[in-house]
Amino acid sequence: MNSIHEVREEARKLLEEKRVGMVIGYGKGKGKKNYPIFITDPQKVEELHFESDCFYNLAVYLRKPEVCSHGKLAIVVKGCDARSVRGLFSENQLKSEEVVMLELKCDAKGIGRDKCTTCRVKNPLTPEEKNPIDGEIAKILAMPMEERFRFFAEEFKRCIRCYACRQICPHCFCKTCIVEKSEPQWISSTPSPLGNWSWNFTRAFHLIGRCVECGECARACPVGIRLDILNRYLAKSVEEKYQFIAGMDEKAAPPLTTYKQNDNQDFIR
Amino acid sequence: MSMNMNMKFEPKIMAFVCQWCTYTGADLAGTSRMQYSPYVKIIKLPCTGRIDVQFIVKAFEEGADGVIVSGCHPGDCHYTSGNYYARRRFEMFHELMSFVGVDMRRIQFAWVSAAEGRKWAELVNEVSKRVEELGPFNVFHALREQANELNP
Amino acid sequence: MKSYNSSIVTKQGLKQLIENILAHKYRLLAPKKSGEQLSFETILRAEEVVLNQLLRTMTTLSPKEVFFPRTEPVLRYTGQEMHDVEPPTPETVLFGIRPCDARGLELLDKVFTWDYNDKFYLKRREATTIVTFACSDQASVDEHCFCLGVGGDPTASSGSDLLLSTNGDDAFLLEVITEKGERLLNSCKEGVELQASDKRAADQLEAIKDRFVRKQDLTEVRHKMPEYFDSDQLVQETYRCLGCGICAMSCPTCHCFDIVDEPKAGTLGEGARVKNWDACSFALFTKHAGGHNPRELQCQRCRQRYFHKLAYYPQKFSEESLCVGCGRCSRSCPVGLDIYQAVTHVLGKGRA
């Protein structure tokens, strides 16, 4: 779809014909602000908007129990969000017949976030070939090992464990997060330098092959930890090593749930 | 980790091994009376596929200076494919660890079969020597010390 | 009656005052830029205090952390033996907090003393002298601020020991509010030129009021809130809450904590029992051991926070609400939730 008018029309039809129970989209606040809205009444589809600052990745709401209770759902998606939804399909978190995607082209300019400079899915269905060059990653790779370690340790030290990164991520879908497990406790829940390192490291690891580089984690982080750099780097590695791009093909098996007999093992003695 | 100049640094090395191949291989090294570095502490698990990377993170949290992960050669897994899954997981673990600045000379993955007692002994010696040369994992231990001094 | 104990101090004089504070070996905490963030940090050199910055931008996290850290041990154990922990309490000057933050501390005082005197909080309070900056700069107040609506005042002195406000381009007005403030000033005023004045920060109040976009009064909502406990409208307003804890952790008055035993890494049987920030927006906050969760949905958790701020606290402690209107929760909320907007909207007083 090319315009919000088409989206509204489609949403109205879906709701009227009771093909979906709820439409998740962007609403307009005062001034330029947008926020997620949830529409169940076909009369209210005019409240759907799409303009600058629609940075939210709405796919995160697809797993909220109060949203799921509405049955089939329709969701307004930009390119990055569409990847999330397909990623959830490929990991069997959602069934494709349960979700209608209302795809919108996004020029990423209005959104204007860091995440948009490396975006390759401005048009949800025709991804660009290569990841644009990522200066942030190059900067890290140019650092000697100890400097890298200090850089990330300093970033992680600021973490206050509000878990906004996890809560805003559509791919952090575990019912019980590893940091909430206490028997045994793998990761300390105390916001201390050690526990923070393990928490942020582990979250990045758990998103390998899942992260669609929507950048919401870094946007949400109240203390400005650059989680996006970590996740983008891993997404890039997964692509280079396994030719896998998360959320592009809902039929493709996520890279860590499969293997090839001739996978690289240069690093193994 | 303060060290007396005269005291030799004794690295703490954790080894996570599969019970079918590497653990038996290590056993063979023992029964064959092969001498190898005493710095390694072995934990036996059913399969490399069972080795969560969290184990490795925890080992460093608890003060390890180096880690060995070892299991059956590809094609020899007792459970057919556990080591294949593990191989991918460890490759990405390797990527992430080095991206966040952990010197990967501290972590060694290996395939050691039940017949390769000698390879096990060599592996342990090699890793021990390397970690000994690298010295204690101070950047990581510093996090631990800061965490133990929780008071601001 | 004593006249206002206020004086005019130049920018240079204020810098000298800060230098003297450091020279007297006080621990000085002030907003400092680290990365993109403004946060309260230990200041080692006077020039690290950038006045323009702290007047214009509010810190992301509130100064409650100075008294109620995100984590602190309450006891240590070695095997079967337990040892009390005394909080470290260096003589501290907390510089450059806002009047809303200072008021927040007064509200917290009630929580930390009503049934039990929390020594960790109280000892730090005692050892700290608070130098507040009134929101007198053109840019001090932004579209999220609503202290006026919850009984606050951008020039108020309550909770402060010394109160600074702007006085023209190059000078400040310094008011002594408490004896503690006076002691600090007396011990640190050598070389600081103080010119007595009869002005007060409050003189600027009317002009500052105009800068507020959010002017609705929420002080009476505590009487109305209970009617809205089951309101669908409140559910609608908070439906998008994702359940992170940013609001509670950045709040100057949210004070819930979790108690955890932290074994000392690399040892056996040694560790500390620590007190960590917790948030009612977390699903685990009310989850019972048996698996039942009385606040099963996120909007119920969100409601809890709004009710605690605006209804429960005023019922229990005073007529005041626990919200000081600093606006931090709405500035940082990743999905744009906003207590002021939600409450004013739901209670039908019109949308801000």
Q: Where do the domains of chain B lie?
A: 13-142
Residues C296 and A69: their CA atoms lie apart, in Å, by 13
Compute the CA torsion angle A92, A95, A96, A101 (nearest 10 deg). -100
Residues of B in contact with A185 (CB under 8 A): none
**Neighbors of chain A by Cβ distance (3+ pairs < 8 Å):** B, C
From chain A, the residues in CB contact with B89 under 8 A are 256
Residue of A nearest to B120 (CA): A269
pLDDT for the residue numbered C352: 41
Q: What percent of chain C has pLDDT over 90?
A: 70
Tell me what pLDDT residue C54 has. Answer: 83
Of A146, A154, A140, the closest CA to residue A236 belongs to: A140
Cβ–Cβ of A190/C260 closer than 8 Å? yes
Return the pLDDT at A101.
95
Query: What pLDDT is attached to residue A244?
Result: 92
CB A215 within 8 Å of CB A239: no
Q: Do A145 and B103 touch (CB under 8 A)?
A: yes
pLDDT of residue C348: 78
Q: Say whether pLDDT at C303 is over 50.
A: yes
Do C164 and C117 fall into the same domain?
yes
Q: How many CB atoms lie within 10 A of CB B106?
A: 20
Q: Cβ contact (<8 Å) for C249 and A65?
A: no
Average pLDDT along chain C: 91
Burial of A182 (0-12, 13-18, 19+ CB in 10 A): exposed
Which range, of A106-110, B118-122, C39-43, C59-63, averages the lowest pLDDT? A106-110
The shortest C-alpha distance from B5 to chain A (Å) reads: 23
Asked whether the predicted pLDDT for residue C350 surpasses 50, the reply is no
- Asked whether residue C215 is domain-assigned, the answer is no
- Using the Cβ of B150 and the Cβ atoms of chain C, whether some distance falls under 8 Å is answered with yes
DSSP A76: E
Evaluate if residue C2 carries a pLDDT over 70: no
pLDDT of residue B152: 38
Q: Strands B13-18 and A73-77, how do they pair?
A: unpaired
Domain range spanning residue C304?
221-346
Domain boundaries, chain A: 4-117, 135-254
B5 touching C, CB under 8 A?
A: no
Task: Tell me whether residue C147 is in a domain.
Answer: yes
Give the rounded distance of the alpha carbon of C352 from its chain centre. 24
Q: Of all residues in chain A, what percent carry a pLDDT higher than 90?
A: 67
Map tokens 């001498």 to a residue.
B35
Q: What is the mean pLDDT of residues C242-269?
A: 92
Interface test with B, best of A137, A185, A194 (most B CBs within 10 A): A194
DSSP symbol at A134: -
CA distance C266 to chain B (A): 4
Tell me how close the Cα of C29 comes to any Cα of chain B, in angstroms. Answer: 12
How much is the pLDDT for A214?
86
Q: Is pLDDT of C173 > 80?
A: yes
Closest chain B CA to residue A197: B143
Among candidates A147, A192, A234 on the partner chain, residue whose Cβ is nearest the Cβ of B147 = A192
Residues C110 and C192 in one domain: yes
Structurally, at CATH architecture level, domain B13-142 sits in 3-Layer(aba) Sandwich (3.40)
pLDDT at A112 over 60: no
The C-alpha atoms of residue A136 and residue A113 are separated, in whole angstroms, by 14
Show the tokens assigned to A18. 């009771």
Tell me, what amino acid is at C272?
A: A
Asked if residue C230 and residue C133 are part of one domain, the reply reads no
Residues C205 and C232 both lie in one domain:
no
Given A201, A202, A269, which is nearest B108 (Cβ)? A269
Strongest mean pLDDT among A177-186, A201-210, C52-61, C78-87: A201-210
Q: What is the pLDDT of residue B1?
A: 45
Are the C-beta atoms of residues B36 and B63 closer than 8 Å to each other?
no
- Tell me if B139 and A153 make a contact (CB, 8 A cut-off): yes
Looking at the fold, whether C129 and C24 belong to one and the same domain comes out as: yes
Nearest to A106 by CA among A130, A83, A124: A124
Residue C236 included in any domain: yes
From C157, C176, C209, give the residue that closes a domain. C209
Give the closest residue to C293 by CA, choosing from A191, A167, A187, A175: A175
Instruction: Say whether pLDDT at A33 is over 90.
Output: no
H or E element that contains C221: helix C221-224
- pLDDT level of residue A55 (50, 70, 90 thresholds): confident
Percent of chain C with pLDDT over 70: 98
Task: Please report the pLDDT score of residue B39 as a whole number.
Answer: 95
SS (H, E, C) B9-32: CCCCEEEEEECCCHHHHHHHHHHC
A148 reaches B (C-beta below 8 A) = yes
**Interface pTM (ipTM) of the complex?**
0.92
Residue A127 has pLDDT above 60, yes or no: no
Record the pTM: 0.93
Q: What is the pLDDT of residues C139-161, one digit of tens each?
A: 899 999 999 999 999 999 999 99
What confidence score (pLDDT) does residue A178 get?
Answer: 94
Give A155-206 pLDDT, tens digit per residue: 999 999 999 999 999 999 998 999 998 888 899 999 999 999 999 999 999 9
Task: Name the residue type at position B63.
Answer: G
In a domain, C233, yes or no: yes
Please indicate, yes or no, whether residues C109 and C162 belong to a single structural domain of this protein.
yes
- Pick the more confident residue, C348 or A226: A226
Using pLDDT thresholds of 50, 70 and 90, give the confidence band for residue C314.
very high
Q: Span C2-31, mean pLDDT?
A: 89
- pLDDT attached to residue A32: 64
- Record: contact A161-C352, CB cut-off 8 A: no
Across all residues in chain B, what is the average pLDDT? 92
C37 assigned to some structural domain: yes
Q: Which of C328, C324, C345, C306 is nearest to C144 (CA)?
A: C328
Q: Are residues C174 and C260 in the same domain?
A: no
- Of C37, C14, C20, C51, the closest CA to residue C186 belongs to C20
Q: What angle do CA B39, B42, B44 make, to 5 degrees?
A: 175
Angle subtended at Cα A267 by Cα A152 and Cα A264, rounded to the nearest 5 degrees = 110
**Inside any domain, residue C137:** yes
Q: Assess if residue C1 is contained within a domain.
A: no
Which residue, chain included where needed, has tokens 């575990």? A174
Residues in chain B, overall count: 152
Dig out the tokens for B137 from the structure. 């994992």
* Together in a domain, C68 and C112: yes
Q: What pLDDT shows up at residue A110?
A: 55
3-state secondary structure of A29: coil
Count of the separate structural domains present in chain C: 2
Q: Are A25 and A62 in contact (CB under 8 A)?
A: no
Q: C204 and C294 share a domain? A: no
Residue A267 phi/psi, 5° resolution? -85, 0
At C257, list the tokens: 């904590």
The CA distance from B64 to the nearest CA of chain C, in Å, is 9
Strands of chain C, DSSP E: 6-10, 27-34, 37-43, 71-78, 81-84, 92-97, 128-133, 162-166, 171-176, 195-197, 257-263, 270-277
Of B2-11, C272-281, C318-327, the range with the lowest mean pLDDT is B2-11
- Residue C351's pLDDT is 43
Q: What is the pLDDT of residues B26-72, one digit of tens each?
A: 999 999 999 999 999 999 999 999 999 999 999 999 999 999 999 99
Note whether C147 and C253 are same-domain residues. Answer: no
Rounded to a whole number of angstroms, the distance between the first and last alpha carbons of chain A is 52
Query: Any alpha helices (H) in B62-137, and if so which ranges?
Result: 82-99, 117-134
- Give yes or no: residues C202 and C251 share one domain: no
C216 lies in some domain: no
Same domain for C306 and C335, yes or no, is yes
Burial of C126 (0-12, 13-18, 19+ CB in 10 A): exposed
